Amino acid sequence: MIASVGNGFILEGVRQLGSVAIFFVRLLGECVPALRRPRLIVHQIYNSGARSLIIIMLSGLFVGMVLGLQGYELLQRFGSVEALGTAAALGLLKELAPVVTALLFAGRAGTALTSEIGLMRATDQLTAMEIMAVDPLRYVAAPRFLGGVLAMPLLAAIFSVIGLYGAQLIGVELMGVDKGVFWSQMQGSVGLRNVTEGVVKSVVFGIACSLIAVHEGYHAAPTAEGVALATTRTVVASSVITLLLDYMLTAAFL
Partner 1 sequence: MRPNRTLEIGTGLFVLLGFAALLFLTSQLPANGLKFGAPKAGYHVTAEFDNIGDLKVGAPVTMAGVHVGEVAGIRFDSRDYKAVVSLRIDPQYNQIPEDSFASIETQGLLGGKYIGVSPGGLDSYLKEGGHIDQTQSAIVLESLINKFFASYSSKGGGDTQGKGADNQSKVESKK
Q: Which residues bind partner 1 (CB under 8 A)?
A: 39-40, 42-43, 45-46, 49-51, 53, 78-80, 82-83, 89, 93, 151, 153-155, 157-158, 160-161, 178, 180-181, 183-188, 190-192, 194-195, 198-199
Q: Min. distance of Cβ 206 from partner 1 in angstroms?
A: 12
Q: Which of 181, 221 has the CB closer to partner 1? A: 181
Cβ atoms within 10 A of the Cβ of 229, count? Answer: 16
Q: Min. distance of Cβ 188 from partner 1 in angstroms?
A: 6
Q: Which of 23, 159 has the CB closer to partner 1? A: 159
Q: Which of 20, 48 has the CB closer to partner 1? A: 48
Q: Min. distance of Cβ 64 from partner 1 in angstroms?
A: 13
Q: CA–CA separation, 169 vs 173, rounded Å?
A: 5
CA angle 228–60–251, rounded 5-degree value: 80
DSSP 81-141: GGGHHHHHHHIIIIIIHHHHHHHHHIIIIIHHHHHHHHHHHHTTHHHHHHHTT--HIIIII
Q: Are the CB atoms for 243 and 99 separated by under 8 Å?
A: yes
Q: Which of 74, 221 has the CB closer to partner 1? A: 74
Q: Min. distance of Cβ 164 from partner 1 in angstroms?
A: 8
